[in-house]
Structure 1
Amino acid sequence: MKEYVLLVFLTLCSAKPLLHPSYLTLKNMMLKDMEDEGDGDADNSLFPTREPINPFFPFDLFPTCPFGCQCYSRVVHCSDLGLSSVPSNIPFDTRMVDLQNNKIMEIKENDFKGLISLYALILNNNKLTKIHPKAFLTTKKLRRLYLSHNQLSEIPLNLPKSLAELRIHDNKVKKIQKETFKGMNSLHVLELPSTLLELHLDYNKISTVELEDFKRYKDLQRLGLGNNRITDIENGSLANIPRVREIHLENNKLKKIPSGLQELKYLQIIFLHSNSITKVGVNDFCPTVPKMKKSLYSAISLFNNPVKYWEVQPATFRCVLSRMSVQLGNFRK
C-alpha cells in the first residue's frame, strides 16, 4: 500500500498540465489585463503568483473537474472531446473555459450559472444555433467570448457589459440589433460575420470611423452609427460598403459631410442632423461623373447643424427624389 501511495505521489508531482495554444495566448492577454487593472488580489488572479500553502501538493489531489477535461489553475480545458452539451460540474472559481472543437448545438440558461469569476469562454468551431438570453446573466466578469465558426443566426442577447473582446465571425448572422452593444464601454475587439446586411451600433461611445472598420462587410445595406461621439470618418471608409442604402450618423460631433457619399450608387437615406456641420458642398451628395447611375435620395437630413442654409447651392441636391426629401431647418443652440 505504501508503495502504491508513493507511486501516485511521484506521478502527480512529475505530471505537467496540458497547455493548449489558445491557453497560452489567452494567458498572456489575461495577465496583461490584470496588470492594467492593478489587481493585487492573488486569490482572485487566474494564475496565482503566491506560493501554495503546502509546497508538496501544488494542486488538489482529487479536484472537481468534468469527465475527460483537463483542469489546472482555474482553467478548464474540454476541447476536442466530441461534447454535445456544456459539462455540468465546472468548478465555480473557474476563470477560463475552453470548449472549442466540439459538437455543442445549444447554450442553455444554466450552463454557466454561478461562474461569477469567469474571464474567458471559448466556443469556437461547434454547432451552436441557439444561446439562451439569460446564459450570461451571472458571468459579470466575462472579458473574452469566442463564438466563431458556428451556425448562430443572431448575436447573443444580454451580453455582459464587462466584455472587451467578442469574436463571432463565420456564422449566419445577418443583422445586428441596435441595443446589442449598448453600455459596453470596454469592448475594443469585435469580429462579426462578413455576411451582415444590417449593422446597428447606435447609442455607444464610438469616436472615430477608420478605413478598416467596414472592410469585411461588402454586402452591408443598413448602417446605424447615430447617437455616438464620432468626430471623424476616415477618407475611403464608406467605399468599403458599396451596397449600403441607409446610413444613420445623427447626433454625433461631425464638422463636415463624410467623404465618399457621392460614390455610393445605392445610397438613398442619409441622416446627418444634430452634428456640428458648418458647410455643405455642391458635390457632397451627388456624383460628379455625368454617366454614373445613382439611386435618388429619398431622405437627407441636415437640420440642427450650424449650416448657413441660404448659402447651399441648389445643385447640391440634384439627385434627390423631391424637395421634401431634404430637411435643412434652422440651427438652434
Structure 2
Amino acid sequence: MFSHKSLLLLSVFSLASHSLALPFEQRGFWDFGIDGDGGGSMTVMMRDEEEGSAVEELPPPDFHVCPFGCHCQLRVVQCSDLGLTEVPKNIPSDTKLLDLQNNRISELKENDFKGLSNLYALSLVNNKISKVHPRAFTPMRHLQKLYFSRNLLTAVPKNLPPSLVELRIHDNNIKKVPAGAFAGLSKMNCIEMGGNPIQNSGFEPGAFKGLKLNYLRISEAKLTGVPKDFPETLHELHLDNNKIQAIELEDLRRYKQLYRLGLGYNDIRNIENGSLSFVPNLRELHLENNRLTRVPKGLPDMKYLQVVYLHSNNISQVSIDDFCPRSFGVKRSFYNGISLYSNPVQYWEVQPATFRCVSDRMSIHFGNYKK
C-alpha cells in the first residue's frame, strides 16, 4: 500500500513527464480545437454546428477590388503610366483621389465614373482625350479639383460638377469659349487655361458670367490685348507669353481687386497714363521681357505695390520720381523688389534718391546690358 509521500512523488513525476513531452505538431485543421478534455469541446462544437444553434454563417469580408495594375490605398487610386486606353472598371466607390495621368485615354464615356460620388480630385493630365460625354461628370457630386491639362480638348467640357473649385485645362486645343461655358460653377475659385490657341475674339460675351474667380491664368495663348470681360473678383490675373502690344486706359478698369498682375513676355511698348490707377491694391506687377522704353507712369501713386519686374526691356533712363512719391507717408508698403537688369540704362547715373521708398538696397537689381 502506498503512503501519502509515495502518492505525492507519483503526482509530481506525472506532471514532470507531461512537461517534458514533445512539442505540439499539427496534423490536421481541427487539431487547433483539441484541448485537455480529450476533444470534448470540439465534439460539442461540431454537434452544435450540425444542429445550427451555436455557429452562425458569417457574411463575406468587406473589401474593395482594385483595378488591375493600379495601386489603391487610403481612398487614393493611382492608375498613372499604365498605357490605359479607357477609364478602368471596378474603381472603389469610396475613392477620394483618382489619378489617371500619363495614359492613352481618348474618350470619357457616360458611365466611366458611375458610383464615384465621393470623388474629390480627378487627374487626367497628359492623355489623348478629345471627346467627353455630356453626362460623364454627373455622378461626381463632390468633385472640387479637375486636372485636364495636356490633352486634345477643343472645347471646355460641358456640365462640369457645380462643386468644382479648381479647373486646369491648359495645353489643349481650345480656340473658343462660348457664353455660359462655366454656367452653374458658383464655387469656382481658380482656372488655368493657358497654352490654348485662344484669341481675344475667342471669348464670347458672358463666357465667365456668374464666376467669382480669385485666380485666372491664360498664358501662352494668342491674346493681343487684355480681355475686358473677365470676373471682376480676380485677385490674380496672368497673361504672360502672349502678343499684347499695349495697355490702354480702359483695359484694367474692371479689375480693381487685383493683387498680382502678370504681363511678362509680351510685346508691350506702351502703358497709357492712368491705366494703373484702376488697380490701386496691386502688390506685384510683372512687365519683364517686353519692349518698354520707360518706367510706366503711375507707380509712385500705388500705395501697396511691393514688387516690379521690368528687366529685359528697352529702358534707357530712370528718373528720380519714377518709383517713389514726393510726399512723405503716401507709400504704405515699401518696395522689396525692383528688377531693371538687361536694360540699356546706365545704373551709375541713376540718383540714389530714386529708390528712397525701397526697403533695402539689395532689393534693387541692376545688371550689365549686352545687346
- In the superposition, the TM-score normalised over structure 2's length comes to 0.52
2:200 is equivalent to residue 161 of structure 1: no
2:180 is equivalent to residue 146 of structure 1: yes
Classify 1:132/1:278 alpha carbon distance in 2 versus 1 (closer, same or farther; 3 Å): closer
**Counterpart in 2 of 1:301?**
339
SS at match of 1:239: helix
Alignment of 1:65-80 (within 5 A): none
Question: Structure 2 regions of 5+ residues with no counterpart?
Answer: 1-132, 136-140
Counterpart-to-counterpart distance in 2, 1:229 and 1:237 = 17
Counterpart-to-counterpart distance in 1, 2:308 and 2:147 = 40
| Corresponding residue to 1:176 among 216, 219, 223 | 216
**Counterpart in 1 of 2:16?**
none
Classify 1:186/1:262 alpha carbon distance in 2 versus 1 (closer, same or farther; 3 Å): closer
Classify 1:169/1:324 alpha carbon distance in 2 versus 1 (closer, same or farther; 3 Å): farther
Classify 1:188/1:331 alpha carbon distance in 2 versus 1 (closer, same or farther; 3 Å): closer
**Counterpart in 2 of 1:223?**
261
Classify 1:266/1:131 alpha carbon distance in 2 versus 1 (closer, same or farther; 3 Å): closer
**Counterpart in 2 of 1:212?**
250
Question: Structure 1 regions of 5+ residues with no counterpart?
Answer: 1-85, 89-103
1:78-133 superposed Cα distances (whole Å, 9 cap, x missing partner): xxxxxxxx856xxxxxxxxxxxxxxx9989999xx9997x8x9998xx95736875
**Match for 2:332: what amino acid?**
K
Determine if contact 1:195/1:217 at 8 Å carries over to the other structure.
yes
Classify 1:321/1:172 alpha carbon distance in 2 versus 1 (closer, same or farther; 3 Å): same
Give the C-alpha shift of residue 194 in structure 1. Answer: 1.1
Give the C-alpha shift of residue 298 in structure 1. Answer: 0.6
Determine if contact 1:231/1:255 at 8 Å carries over to the other structure.
yes
Give the C-alpha shift of residue 205 in structure 1. Answer: 1.2
Counterpart-to-counterpart distance in 1, 2:342 and 2:312 = 5
| Corresponding residue to 2:326 among 288, 304, 316 | 288
Counterpart-to-counterpart distance in 2, 1:155 and 1:275 = 29
| Structure of higher CA gyration radius | 2
State how many pairs are aligned. 227
Counterpart-to-counterpart distance in 1, 2:221 and 2:162 = 29
**Counterpart in 2 of 1:272?**
310
Counterpart-to-counterpart distance in 1, 2:171 and 2:317 = 46
**Match for 1:153: what amino acid?**
N
Counterpart-to-counterpart distance in 2, 1:229 and 1:162 = 17
Determine if contact 1:142/1:160 at 8 Å carries over to the other structure.
no
**Match for 1:154: what amino acid?**
C
Determine if contact 2:335/2:358 at 8 Å carries over to the other structure.
yes
**Match for 2:293: what amino acid?**
K
Determine if contact 1:121/1:144 at 8 Å carries over to the other structure.
no
Determine if contact 2:167/2:191 at 8 Å carries over to the other structure.
no
Give the C-alpha shift of residue 327 in structure 1. Answer: 1.3
**CA-based RMSD:** 3.9
Classify 1:176/1:156 alpha carbon distance in 2 versus 1 (closer, same or farther; 3 Å): closer
**Match for 2:190: what amino acid?**
E
Give the C-alpha shift of residue 146 in structure 1. Answer: 3.4
2:231 is equivalent to residue 196 of structure 1: no
Determine if contact 2:166/2:190 at 8 Å carries over to the other structure.
no
2:363 is equivalent to residue 325 of structure 1: yes
